[in-house]
Chain A
């Protein structure tokens, strides 16, 4: 029997607000434990939450970017459970009345474009972190993260492969980062993904029994974990057994999923509306105001780059991977008016430099205007492509403008015949044997002479000019 995987993803994105969702504490990552806390996020007796409007605004942005319906009236509920990283004994989340519902995103897969539904997007608070002492049987609680705003995005069970899941995840990640509402850092946990996976015989409507996968902290791990889990469930079903409904943790080292201890998931969360918070009213004016400030989204940008700059889809994809990179590229194009050449330089040397140093485009030492000028200089024949390589490296290292580097290094191309002819004459005169062989029909030696000229001019001679002159002079 052939089985079809049915996958739904739950994504938690930490929102890039300055302060927490229900108090004024900072959300900055990496501070000493429990320094970004106050009585409210510590869950002390008598304190009350007050909603940060920025969290609502950010969530509305995501809802608009994913074609969701925004609920004009939505509200918070308490999810009750005990854990030391949850100081109130409940998490404030949205349950019956989420902010947004019924959206979708389109993703590109090997099988073509596919639309993945989004069931809901809601706001909630993050929990703290436990730090376990390796040498002593005790644990420490760091509540800096408690109350950091999260957005949960729940997909419909529309995903049919690990590859589609990864494409969907990348699409959401890209949108969140474009909107500048999440930094998208999976390792630090600001972008997390859980998956529900089940298999059903192809052609069957009804879903199979699902497992929930957790602990996948990279795009690659999500795909690996899903591939593993799909295979595991297929073996279970082919063996005539049933899949157990359970939560399984991805074990990166072993490359497998393992069941979580069942005790830890036997929860009845006893959701009920949080009486300390009032209904969140989202008026049309507010939504329209936010809509007006929405940036161009990745897909739209990609399409425009192809159209406007005439570059291949692949290039458009790479160059729009982040908003900052796309902006950089566009600035280069504006400065040199050579979109394809600009694309080659940005995607080639520039991204290579940055990747080697694990540097973000935001921290790129070469101003876009400098790169544009360098491309112009190549086009004008002032410098050769080879010189440009050297100049770009120097620009990356020092941040200097191309003209400064050219002047410092004396890199201007020799394009003056009068200056080149004596050099060529000397090279020919110094190699009588090679000249004789060349004239005897050994054409390959042409390259030898070009090399000698380049050497003699320290690479500054215009290659085209050398070719033209050498041909004439070698012919005698």
Chain B
């Protein structure tokens, strides 16, 4: 197999043995980008020159025997992470010219671990979307079917990993923005517990929901990246100072005796039958692996979407106020006076979906409406959190589909926001409750589109998710299934 198609741990073995070099790996990744990114459009910015220097430094380090956890591994970053000296657009015209003078905490951690940064991946504008169609820089296409969306908002990251345009990627997940595109692109995506990974330097969408996590080709790589990015950060007040386990130690624990909760509210109408069948088959495989299935209930599930679409836009309306044309980013030259400059800059700088959410958020926080919307939503959110607390007394992990459907066609839902919002119906609850979730591939539809299986666990139990995901990956022989589909069915190959 070509180098770009390998995993972090496979490449590390080759680097360690001297079989290959960081420069070779990067060259392979860049040749792949050159071959396919015209079609996929996973990237907004490529940082080839800087990456080559990083790869050279990695090779020097390896020669000196100073190999870090990610030395020489080309990784892409969703364009929502601030990168010192490299444009950080958030998929928006309003930040098209923004170059941060600082690195996000996670970027600094990857850098310190020796990673090579391939480039900045496309995304829905300000992470608002489920299809990567709202980006100011154009649509990203699903490598499995170029007529379809890759999911979103971290669609560029998911597509880049699926198309081997990088070895792994970092994304952010506010309502499913890592797990849903991971499912639709056939890769592994994890959203850690709120407070587990520092948000410092992550351009904020909805501060109480945003969380950073990895996109990888297998669960072992997910554990490797989690080992690097997890941990307390004094620069973030909501960061939690609790011990970070070695996530790799969960990889081969199996699922014997594990209690897997099946929430009845997640297997309802609206779930594509093909998806439902695939997920039920996957759960059957876990059972054969020794897991005990437990039926559970999350009674407030039906309110998740409504609560989310009050809380997230409310926070976003405030978080996005800083993009006013005064200090950095886009400023409309049309403004006649201060107020007009604000209006023109924000009208032209933001896309439709972002403006829709700013207006919703402004509305729900307005005097006279706050109690009925924001306050009430916060109260229901507490109930949703309690549902999970109760459920995790009966089970260790919860298994659900990640997305109600496989990848849909480009343009199919852009005119129907409600339909688009339903894409995240199965993932939003984890953000509202602050719990971790992972999506692992669990087969394909008849049209050879990937299907994702989601596991959820209690706060700071990412280890359990890695344990369950890794066990499933082995029991279902996912890696070889994906490799075969890639050879035979992927429209790019």
Contact = CB atoms under 8 A, between A and B. Distances in A.
Interface of A: 39, 42-51, 78, 80, 82, 84, 87-90, 141, 268, 270-272, 275-278
Given A44-B100, A45-B203, A48-B200, A87 B322 contact: yes
A466 B362 CA distance: 89
A270 B342 contact: no
Interface stretch (B142-150, B231-239, B468-476): B231-239
Given A50-B237, A268-B366, A275-B207, A45 B322 contact: yes
Contacts of B206: 275
A90 B362 CA distance: 13
A48 B235 contact: yes
Contact of B326 (A48, A87, A271, A272): A87
Interface of B: 81-82, 88, 90, 95, 98, 100-102, 104, 199-204, 206-208, 234-238, 314-315, 317-318, 320-322, 324, 326-328, 338, 342, 362, 365-367, 370, 374
A237 to B, nearest CB: 29
A82 B323 CA distance: 10
Considering residues B314, B324, B342, which has the most beta carbons from chain A within 10 angstroms of its beta carbon? B324
B100 A87 contact: no
A157 B436 CA distance: 50
A276 B207 contact: yes
A46 B201 contact: yes
A50 B324 contact: no
Nearest to A273: B378
Contact of A89 (B82, B200, B324, B365): B324
Contacts of B374: 272
Given A45-B322, A47-B200, A82-B321, 15 more contacts: A39-B101, A44-B101, A45-B203, A46-B202, A46-B203, A50-B236, A80-B365, A87-B327, A89-B322, A89-B324, A141-B326, A271-B370, A272-B314, A276-B236, A278-B238
B365 A272 contact: yes
A310 to B, nearest CB: 54
Contact of B82 (A46, A141, A268): A46
A272 B370 contact: yes
A88 B321 contact: yes
Nearest to B202: A46
7 contacts: A44-B328, A45-B100, A46-B204, A47-B201, A84-B324, A84-B326, A141-B327
Chain A at the B interface: SS class: loop
A42 B234 contact: no
Contact of A268 (B201, B238, B367): B367
A45 B98 contact: yes
Given A45-B98, A50-B236, A80-B318, A270 B367 contact: yes
A94 to B, nearest CB: 15
A45 B207 contact: no
Contact of A78 (B82, B318, B328): B318
Contacts of A275: 206-208, 238, 315
Contact of A49 (B237, B322, B326): B237
Contacts of A278: 237-238
A84 B207 contact: no
A202 B348 CA distance: 57
Nearest to A276: B207
Q: Which of A45, A88, A271, A272 has the most CB of B within 10 A?
A: A45
Contact of A276 (B101, B237, B326): B237
A82 B201 contact: no
Contact of B318 (A39, A84, A270): A270
B314 A80 contact: no
B313 to A, nearest CB: 12
Q: Which 7 A-B pairs have the closest CB atoms?
A: A89-B321, A275-B208, A270-B365, A275-B207, A45-B203, A46-B201, A46-B203
A363 B314 CA distance: 53
Nearest to A38: B102
B199 A48 contact: yes
A277 B236 CA distance: 8
B318 A46 contact: no
A43 B318 contact: no
A47 B82 CA distance: 9
Contacts of A50: 234-237
Contacts of A39: 100-102
Q: Could you say which of B88, B204, B321, B342 has the most chain A C-beta atoms within 10 Å of its C-beta?
A: B321
Interface centre among B81, B104, B322, B338 (most CB of A within 10 A): B322
Contact of A82 (B98, B208, B324): B324
A146 to B, nearest CB: 11
Contacts of A84: 324, 326, 338
A43 B98 CA distance: 13
A1 B321 CA distance: 50
